[in-house]
Amino acid sequence: MRFWTYAFCLAFVFAPSALWAQEEEIEELDFEEIEEVEPSAAYYGQGFAQHERALNLLSAKTTRKGTFLSLVAHRTNSTFMKDSGHNLLGFDDGALKIGLGLRYGVLDNLDIGFYRLNNVVVYDHYELDARWQMLSQDSFGIDMALRGGATFFTAKGYESATAYLGQLLLDKKFGNRLFVGAGLLFHSDSSNLDKENEDVDWTLGAQLYAEYRFCETWAFVAETAPALSGYGEKYPTFSLGPKIYTNRHTFAVVISNTQMMDANGVMTNSVRKFDELILGFNISREI
């Protein structure tokens, strides 16, 4: 009986020490196995829409497999820099350009797209394309994609026409904050509001853009698409503005020197000077 009494007393004395040692081991194990993740890594996760475009310019990131990505884009005709109070910054002055787009992720690295831009010198533009992402930054340090498609020009009372496009897209993300992209775009029969019949049909253009993510919801985007060869006006097109990210949605306010938003005209340059800039907006939703 005395032996069991001693054994019970010893167990009572040393039990807290054993439990404390065990707790230390558990805490040390948890600390070693849990990897700290930079919060900004979630900026491009499933909670937000895929980064498939800057403003007008597409990126090398395809739409997620099995999802639709819709786009509504508006651009004014009158500049917001003159008589802005009279025409509501240009939005109340007519001649708006409206772009409607829809993309679908067929595979993890392949999507298809449809885009419509309303009347541009008589014709409406319809664009059909496919984008194939050949390389991903996770595996090769850079995103690379090829895009090909066709543009259809239609108007009531006029003969319809067809043209084709080809594009190379390159992107890279730096530190989950800065997203930069570049590329080349060829269109066999480009157009804009100022093109005339005697101008060259085709255009070869470049594209450059950068997007900086300040926080979870706010980013700033700047892009340009100068014509390199073929048809092009005097001033390279550019667009810039803030972009807001929410759950599977984006909203961007756009300041630009062009109303063109599709591959057919985004890299044909512009005749607008710096005191003739226009406003617009993009709204996208991933479903």
DSSP letter, residue 152: E
Encode the chain (287 residues) as per-residue pLDDT tens digits. 454 444 444 444 444 444 444 445 445 545 445 555 577 777 777 778 888 999 999 999 999 999 999 999 999 999 988 877 778 888 888 789 999 999 999 999 999 999 999 988 778 999 999 999 999 999 999 999 999 999 999 988 888 999 999 999 999 999 889 999 999 999 999 998 888 888 999 999 999 999 999 998 999 999 999 999 999 999 999 999 999 998 889 999 999 999 999 998 999 999 999 999 999 999 999 99
Q: CA-CA distance, 275 to 255, in Å (whole number)?
A: 12
DSSP 3-state assignment of 63? coil
Query: What are the structural domains of the chain?
Result: 50-286 (2.40.160.40)
Q: CA-CA distance, 280 to 268, in Å (whole number)?
A: 19
| Cβ-based neighbour number of residue 32 at 10 Å | 8
Q: CA-CA distance, 127 to 167, in Å (whole number)?
A: 14
CB 80 within 8 A of CB 277: yes
Can you tell me which residue has the tokens 């803030």?
242
- CA 214 to chain CA centroid, Å, is 16
- CA 186 to chain CA centroid, Å, is 20
Predicted local confidence at residue 261, as pLDDT: 94
DSSP 3-state assignment of 275? helix
At residue 166, φ and ψ (nearest 5 deg) are -140, 145
Predicted local confidence at residue 14, as pLDDT: 43
| Cβ-based neighbour number of residue 256 at 10 Å | 24
Q: CA-CA distance, 115 to 86, in Å (whole number)?
A: 32
Which residues have C-beta within 8 Å of that of residue 193, sequence separation ≥ 6?
A: 120, 121, 259, 260
